[in-house]
Amino acid sequence: MRSARKPEDVASELATISNLSRAVLVKRWASAYGRPPPKGMSRRLLEYAAAWHLQSEAFGGLDSTVRRKLRRQAKSGEDGASRISGLVRSMALPPGSRLVREWHGRTYTVDVLDTGFLFNGQHYGSLSEVARVITGARWSGPRFFGL
pLDDT digits (tens, 9 = 90+) for 39-93: 888 999 999 998 888 888 888 877 888 778 878 877 776 555 445 444 444 457 7
Residues above pLDDT 70, as percent of the chain: 86
Count up the domains in the chain and report the number: 2
Please compute Rg for the chain using Cα positions: 21
**DSSP state, residue 20:** S
- Integer CA distances (angstroms), 61 to 48, 49, 64, in order: 14, 12, 9
Q: Would residue 82 count as lying in a domain?
A: no
Q: Would residue 41 count as lying in a domain?
A: yes
pLDDT for residue 145? 79
Residue range of the domain that includes 51: 7-59
* Of the candidates 115, 108, 113, the residue with the CA atom closest to the CA atom of residue 94: 113
Q: Would residue 90 count as lying in a domain?
A: no
Of the listed ranges 1-5, 11-15, 84-88, 112-116, the one predicted with least confidence: 84-88
Q: Would residue 32 count as lying in a domain?
A: yes
Q: Would residue 114 count as lying in a domain?
A: yes
Q: Would residue 47 count as lying in a domain?
A: yes
Sequence-ordered list of residues with C-beta below 8 angstroms from that of 96, at least 6 positions apart, any chain: 111, 112
**Average pLDDT estimate for 117-124:** 91
Long-range contacts of 117-125, Cβ-Cβ distance < 8 Å, separation of 24 or more: none
Cα-Cα-Cα-Cα torsion 54, 72, 44, 28, nearest 10 degrees, comes to 40
* DSSP string for 93-134: PPTT-EEEEEETTEEEEEEEETTEEEETTEEES-HHHHHHHH
Largest Cα separation within the chain, whole Å, is: 57
Q: Would residue 102 count as lying in a domain?
A: yes
Q: Would residue 67 count as lying in a domain?
A: no
